[in-house]
Structure 1
């Protein structure tokens, strides 16, 4: 993100379909500031996607007769 986002007063929103209001911080533009658990989940998803992409690229290299394990 580029530094600390400017924030507005927290707003109450529904969270995880629990019929209760939760206090969440938002930027001045109205975007939620992610919780640590949300940032972790996003990072894990990105890591999975990167691994899948690397596996697809390695498979393509093998199809072309190149051993990706021998590349530096």
Structure 2
């Protein structure tokens, strides 16, 4: 998916650099439009989901360990 969205931009910049400037390379004729927008939004949201998971996972793990130790301790005492 990324290759389909990014390759036209990369090819355009390659021809821009090879031709020696905008006047010789011409305008970019490809625009991914909504597909590129959806991809960028998805990539951004997934980054935040990963960051949120990295922050929340250790907290949940500590809570799980504490609750499990409480359960084991109460089972041993009674």
Q: Is the TM-score greater than 0.5?
A: no
Which of the two has greater helix per residue? 2
RCO comparison, higher one (Cα < 8 Å, 6+):
2
Q: TM-score, normalised by structure 2?
A: 0.39
Q: TM-score, normalised by structure 1?
A: 0.42
Which of the two has greater strand per residue? 1
Larger Rg: 2
